[in-house]
Amino acid sequence: MTQGRSESSALRGVHAVAREFADLPIEVVVKEDCLRCGVWFEPDALRRGHAYARKSYFIFSFDHRPLEDMEGEPAREDAPEEIALEGGPWGFRRVIISVRLNPESPYRVGLDDDRSLQLFCDGEPIASVAFSPTPPYYGEMLDDGTPITEVAPSIEWGYLLYLTVFRMCQYFGKEEECQFCDINRNFKQQRALGRPYHAVKPIDRLLAALDHVVQSGARAEAYTLTGGSVTTQLEGKDEASFYIEYAEAIEERFPGRWIGKMVVQALPQQDVRRIHAAGIGIYHPNYEIWDRELFERICPGKARHVGRDTWIARIIDAAEVFGPERVIPNFVGGIEMARPFGFKTEEEAWRSTGEGLDHFMSRGIAPRFTTWCPEPLSVLGPAGPASLRYHVGLLKLWRDTHAKHGLAPPPGYGQPGIGNAVFSVSSFMDVIG
């Protein structure tokens, strides 16, 4: 890694943070910066990419601009799902990054003098780039004409099938929805562009898609079954019953073929037992943010319908059913600093989030996190992103708390460690192992 005489402000920030957190790999500093700032693709780079998996918009937009604002740009239709950085001038070990489009990002994928794919930061080459490989079933259609990628897209470099069976959320409107989330507005923008987005995926369509996945020989090792929250009923069922029906159908057709993971609300223990009995192996009751006041501001629907204390208690209760290492709640790293009511300093935010990490990890429950993308279709879109220093310091905090409590790498995420990890929406798996 070298520093040029006239390096950009983005590069100065990377170098400064890398020096402060010198015990973390430089690869994760760049990865977190790409996640928080987004990336952009030159048209000739997309043409050079050959066969690769396109961005599927598997649940949220994870973009820094609405799709309509990128009309006419090749990246809108042809951006890859993920990129891998490796080698190059900075000697990277492989690191995989979820693509979040931003035409104004300092990070751009283009061609170097040898016409090889390269990541540049304000014009300086950083690392060689590979686009996410195409799973063997991509391009296939179901009998009803639905693209299989709409039903069962693959992420994490082919490790995970992401099964969003309810494309919307019943926490609807500013007074209910999580303020960082654009699931409902992303559904609307996808439909407005004529893309084959369906609010609820029928079970028979999902099973037919998974038949194609199996027959293709795709190497996926896990699936995530998820969608928006159900606060009343959906198709005559409460939230647990709605999602359990899918889990039972998958496990009956393909018993034990994949690690089954479910992302739903923090549910009463009797419902958690039903989820476990249906064949799900890992439970993700995402708590989003630790601070009490910020939870109520940022997750108003969850605060009213369930409540922070009940949510936390149910996470801990779930460990009695799944085992603590298989209860893995997510928090959205960075929303703690969302303007104007978030924490004013990184240190304050680290203390708060660290309290939550210690609360759970001391009980054997290891939360994971998703690096916040300030999506413009969400309420908090204009309020971010959080600083690179905060995100990298959060990685160190997570790693050190994880080590303090002697926890093993979380199951259901593939191999840990830089050069091995495939989890692409944060670097927590890159910093352990």
What is the spatial distance between Cα 201 and Cα 208, in angstroms, rounded to a whole number? 11
Range(s) of the domain holding residue 332: 148-387
Pair 246, 368 in one domain: yes
Residue 261 lies in a domain: yes
Is the torsion defined by CA of 179, 413, 94, 115 positive or negative?
A: negative
Span 27-50, average pLDDT: 95
Residues 125 and 163 in one domain: no
428 in a structural domain: no
Mention every residue, 6+ apart, whose C-beta is less than 8 A from residue 248: 278, 279
Angle at 382 between CA 122 and CA 290, to 5 degrees: 105
The answer to whether residue 425 is domain-embedded is: no
Shared domain for 161 and 117, answered yes or no, is: no
Predicted pLDDT of residue 173: 87
pLDDT above 90 as % of the chain: 95
Assigned domain for 410 exists: no
What is the pTM for the complete model shown?
0.96
Q: Is residue 330 part of a domain?
A: yes
End position of a domain, from candidates 106, 131, 156: 131
Is 99 within the bounds of a domain? yes
Please tell me whether residue 396 adopts helix, strand or coil conformation.
Answer: helix
Beta pairing partners, 83: 97, 131
Amino acid at 50: H
What SS3 state is found at 307? coil
Are 90 and 227 found together in one domain? no
State pLDDT tens for residues 266-306.
Answer: 999 999 999 999 999 999 999 999 999 999 999 999 999 99
Q: Examine the domain organization and report whether 158 and 228 are in the same domain.
A: yes
Domain count, the chain: 2
Residue 47 has, within 13 A of its CA and on its CB side, a CA count of 6
Q: What is the rounded CA–CA span in Å between residue 56 and residue 416?
A: 25
Whether residue 203 sits in one domain with residue 96:
no
In a domain, 211, yes or no: yes
Give the mean pLDDT of 114-122.
95
Mark whether 110 and 165 lie in a shared domain: no
Residues 125, 17 share a domain: yes
Degrees, nearest 5: CA angle 233-238-240: 150
Whether residues 97 and 196 fall in one domain? no
Are 344 and 287 found together in one domain? yes
Q: How far apart are the first and last CA of the chain?
A: 24
Residues 220 and 351 in one domain: yes
Statement to judge: residues 14 and 115 lie in one domain = yes
- pLDDT tens track for 56-76: 999 999 999 999 999 999 999
Q: Residue 238: give its domain's CATH number.
A: 3.20.20.70
